[in-house]
Chains A and B, each alone.
Chain A
Amino acid sequence: MKRWFAGTVFFFGLFLASYVLYAHVSSWRMALRIPSDWSSHLRKATLESDGFKIFRDGLDAWMVDEKFVVSGTSPRKGIFRLYRPSKRFDSATLSTRFRVGEFAAYDVFVGFQVAGDATRRVAFSFSNDESHRRFRLLGVGANQGPIPESDGVLDDLETIHDVAQTIHVGDWHEIAIRFDPRNQQFEFLLDSIPIATRRLGWMGGVDVEPVVGVEERTPGSNPHVAFDAISFAAAPSGPPPRGTRFVDDFPGSTPDPLRWQTTIANDWRMNGGLAQVHTGGGLHLEGSAAGVTSIGISTPVMLCLYPTELDPVHIETTWDIRTLRYAAIFVSISNEQRTFEVDIRAAGDGERRQWFFTGQSDGSIAPVRTEGPAIEAEGNNSLKLDVAYDPWLRRATVRSGGTVVHQKGYELSRKEYVRICVGGHISSGGAFDATLRLVDLHFAPY
């Protein structure tokens, strides 16, 4: 008996000691890898003390008029990369201000590369050229797995082809790449405005080096790029506060990244199409597929809150809808398995707007679509939309101007992880232009 008792005490003591040791080591290692915010105005003399490392092949950096200028000429494709020591890849924004000195075939980029493996990177690039200026996504689609044979271009970002034409020689611009590990989504910003997003196979947790640089696309392009600053901001994101009221009237220049995740034109490619989102006095959503006949229904713009447990929720929104043609504005509550979505839809050109509801209902696995009544907008195309969902009763109630327009049971249940989104759908030849003036959302947890 004594032996058993001694053995038990020894076992639990060993467990406790091992756990405490492990917890310390694990916390210490994790703390070393957590990135912190930094920014640099790039002075060549202080690069090393600022913690930067340089990779150069044919190109080099100089201080010209107190600006950090990358230039040079090389018989090979010249490369200049400026990167910082590796830290954990997590929710963060990396940005740089730059100015191109001429139009020639080279890329100015900002991105992340896996520690010790510069071939495995993801970078948002301004591909300079006299006639074909464009933004492109460089690198590989995932931080692990085989690297496919390619020219290093992951995506031509066709949908923002026209935005690149606004960059002129001698103008300062800021490009930024933002990563959200929860959704494995990258957001690309020009002068603080999100212009494109892509969902890739990159995951948080890998050790990466933030990197900016210049690469020639053809040898002898003789680039001349001035950099003014680089900054890195770790941005932990979280679900909206529950049990409290959350109101957003979108006052800033971009949707608050700590609250909203913006998706622009994912899987939506077409010439002449348009997908824009910007803020200031409301959230302006714009999409157009005018003249395009080859797409099905697509989602040019969508903003989602971070995933949260589903409790009874009220989402009150105020909309100004200027244009709606073969398109829909929506509010949705969804996850990978189940959804509930409220659409304000115009089936055709000049047709009346109509309510439209989608979701798994009565035990169905596939979403069921239900047409609602026609919408009587209150003057100047503005309307109030109030979506209430009670996951305990599995019941949705949709009101507009105080009138119930839809009430039905759906399959989303309590405590499921869901995302609450707003955005616009579009089909061939369609367009929408709307402003979400206000979101007033509150959970009522049990």
Chain B
Amino acid sequence: MPVGKPTRERLKNAFLQTRFFALLWVTYAYFYQGADPNQLTRIFLTQSLVERRSLDIMPYHGFTIDKAELHGKFFCDKAPGLSFLATPLFAIQNLADRLFGFSPDDLAIKRARLHMLVIFLCGLSGVAATWALARVLRTFGANRSEEQLLVVGYALGTLVFPFSTALFAHQMVAAFLIASFAMIRTSNGDHGLPSTKLLLIGFLWGLSIISEYPTGLLVASLGLYLLSLQSTWASRARSALYVSVGALVPLFIHSVYLRAAFGSPFALPYKFVFEPVFRVHHEEGLLGINPPTPAGIFGVLVSRYRGLFFFCPFLLLSFFGIARWIREGTERRELVLMIALLVTYFIFGTSYYAWDGGGSTGPRHMIPILPFLVISVLPFLRNGAKWRFFLCLGLVIVSIGLMFVSTAVLIHMPEGEVMLSNPIYETILPSFFRHELGLNTQDVRELGFRSDASYTLGSLLGLKPFSSLFVIPIIWAFGYAESIIGWIRKMAVSRNARSRLADKAILSGAREGAENR
């Protein structure tokens, strides 16, 4: 059937609206980071649930040191939300393996399985969080260029980029939280949120908590914010009820899991961490959380080792944004929310014994608050002088460069001394300039190190690793070909116009000169 003009228009519009997010997903999907104990323990739980209908990870635990032990059995020591969400996808992979005769023990298949889970869980989470952030920024009055700059900065110039390419839960919970905030912000305030939305918000908050326990702090702040939007006690009670019911589903499943695995619905896996070094830390304070330490504060914020503002310098503008926001005194409720979210999570992040996230790019535990940090940059830009925009643009470009190189080389940056280590300049950039990419050498369910444990899709298809990086800008240029051509034409036209004006000016000057003579 021939495609009619309206349909073509509709398709074109759909393409224009989604191309940024589609290209973003392709960009995240392009990098395969290999395995590590954190990703493996999550995937082992998924595998056990699907294949053995069991909660322990006994057959696979030898491949990871991130595990919990109780009564002679080993379990995943992470919050299980991500593993739960991966189960239907893992089951589909098993089905495909049987249908198409793939061997799940084949190295190529093991890698393909992990990478596909990363693409569809974490890569998509990165895209979803970016989409939700764009919606939220619009509700705060961002114009198109401000929105685009901040959204690009968030998606490619923060830790979102590297952690949308590996099976960690941080980016997924960031997506849940900013999506729920977007739902609240875009609802009609006069009539409150519809019950389905409230249920969904509760569900996302529940999922967030069972995927990364500390996000309970953020959920509490968002919950109070939601209640503060209601004008009557009745509507507050209604919101609280629906949200609680929504959250109950994941929380109940989680409690059942804890009860079955660890004997009590309140016994968190971290309490049973097996590895002696980790256990020593988890036995201190509240599962390893103590008052903030100077090393943690310095390390998380500005250190060359893991400093958030060192790795993503454009986020520094959030300080100036919040200062301006306070001065302007607009949207105070949201201002209080932002400060509450940022302060509580920074306190958590600097208090946890593993504030550096182990082998990590930047302080990965901070990822759930990054969308809110980016929102805080907006007041710095809004209705401001052009230099503000260009300053932000410059910092976004630097941030994107650092994140791109880190993602291409190694997101599991080596652990070291907070005052001395400088992984970006000591490891990442030198490797990048030697054209050595994909330095992670831990493979999926393989003992020993392998040079090809991480790669890009381009190098999988036979390109040299460094050359394969050029595929990303080429894809983006292809996606935005129409805009780029239009921009070039515009430049050419304006240059022609300028030269015509100049010619005119010369002519008129000559004429005036002649007349004067």
Q: Do A and B come from one complex?
A: yes
> Do the beta carbons of B108 and A144 come within 8 Å of each other?
no
Chain A residue with Cβ nearest B443: A205
Is A10's CB within 8 Å of the partner chain B?
Answer: no
Report the bound CA distance from A204 to B451 in whole Å.
6
A26-B111, A29-B462, A146-B434 as given contacts; A19 in contact with B93, CB under 8 Å: yes
- The distance from the CB of A10 to the nearest CB of chain B, in whole angstroms, is 12
Report the bound CA distance from A25 to B462 in whole Å.
11
A12-B92, A22-B116 as given contacts; A205 in contact with B447, CB under 8 Å: no
Q: Which of B113, B434, B439, B462 contacts A19 (CB 8 A)?
A: B113
Q: Which of A12, A182, A365, A415 contacts B448 (CB 8 A)?
A: A182
Q: Mark A55-94, 1 if CB is under 8 A from B, else 0.
A: 0000000000000000000000000000000001100000
> Do the beta carbons of B100 and A20 come within 8 Å of each other?
yes
Is A417's CB within 8 Å of the partner chain B?
Answer: yes
Q: Which of B439, B448, B462 contacts A183 (CB 8 A)?
A: B448
User: Which residues 62-89 of B sit at the A interface, judged by CB distance below 8 A?
Assistant: 62, 72, 74, 88-89
For residue A309, which residues in chain B have a CB less than 8 angstroms away from its CB?
62
Report the bound CA distance from A417 to B102 in whole Å.
27
A23-B102, A309-B62 as given contacts; A144 in contact with B88, CB under 8 Å: no
For residue A29, which residues in chain B have a CB less than 8 angstroms away from its CB?
108, 460-462
A12-B92, A89-B451, A145-B436 as given contacts; A25 in contact with B461, CB under 8 Å: yes
Is B96's CB within 8 Å of the partner chain A?
Answer: yes
> Do the beta carbons of A181 and B448 come within 8 Å of each other?
yes
Is B450's CB within 8 Å of the partner chain A?
Answer: yes
Is B476's CB within 8 Å of the partner chain A?
Answer: no
Is B453's CB within 8 Å of the partner chain A?
Answer: yes
A22-B115, A27-B109 as given contacts; A205 in contact with B452, CB under 8 Å: yes
> Do the beta carbons of A15 and B120 come within 8 Å of each other?
yes
- The distance from the CB of B29 to the nearest CB of chain A, in whole angstroms, is 9
Which bracket fits the contact residues of B?
35 or more
For residue B152, which residues in chain A have a CB less than 8 angstroms away from its CB?
none
Report the bound CA distance from A18 to B96 in whole Å.
11
User: Which residues 3-22 of A sit at the B interface, judged by CB distance below 8 A?
Assistant: 11-12, 15-16, 18-20, 22
For residue A12, which residues in chain B have a CB less than 8 angstroms away from its CB?
88-89, 92
For residue A184, which residues in chain B have a CB less than 8 angstroms away from its CB?
448-449
Chain B residue with Cβ nearest A142: B451
A23-B109, A26-B112, A29-B108 as given contacts; A205 in contact with B93, CB under 8 Å: no
Is A368's CB within 8 Å of the partner chain B?
Answer: no
Is A143's CB within 8 Å of the partner chain B?
Answer: yes
Q: Which of A18, A143, A206 contacts B116 (CB 8 A)?
A: A18
Is B441's CB within 8 Å of the partner chain A?
Answer: yes
Q: Which of A19, A145, A307, A365 contacts B447 (CB 8 A)?
A: A307
> Do the beta carbons of B276 and A415 come within 8 Å of each other?
no
For residue A16, which residues in chain B have a CB less than 8 angstroms away from its CB?
92, 95-96
For residue A203, which residues in chain B have a CB less than 8 angstroms away from its CB?
441, 448-451
> Do the beta carbons of B448 and A414 come within 8 Å of each other?
no
Q: Mark A385-408, 1 if CB is under 8 A from B, else 0.
A: 000000010000000000000000
For residue A143, which residues in chain B have a CB less than 8 angstroms away from its CB?
451
For residue B369, which residues in chain A have a CB less than 8 angstroms away from its CB?
none
> Do the beta carbons of B108 and A23 come within 8 Å of each other?
yes
From A184, A205, A365, residue with most partner B Cβ within 10 Å: A205
Further contacts, 5 of them, CB under 8 A, given A27-B106, A416-B62: A18-B119, A20-B96, A23-B108, A30-B107, A417-B62
6 closest pairs, A vs B, by CB? A205-B452, A205-B450, A206-B451, A30-B108, A205-B451, A182-B448
Interface residues of B (CB under 8 A from A): 58, 61-62, 72, 74, 88-89, 92-93, 95-97, 100, 102, 106-109, 111-113, 115-116, 119-120, 276, 430-431, 434, 436, 439, 441, 443, 447-453, 460-462
29 A-B contact pairs sorted by A residue (CB < 8 Å): A15-B89, A16-B92, A16-B96, A18-B119, A19-B112, A19-B113, A22-B115, A23-B100, A26-B111, A26-B112, A27-B102, A29-B108, A29-B461, A29-B462, A30-B106, A89-B451, A144-B451, A145-B434, A181-B448, A181-B449, A183-B448, A203-B448, A203-B451, A204-B449, A205-B443, A205-B453, A307-B447, A415-B61, A415-B74
Interface residues of A (CB under 8 A from B): 11-12, 15-16, 18-20, 22-27, 29-31, 88-89, 143-146, 181-184, 203-206, 307, 309, 365, 392, 414-417
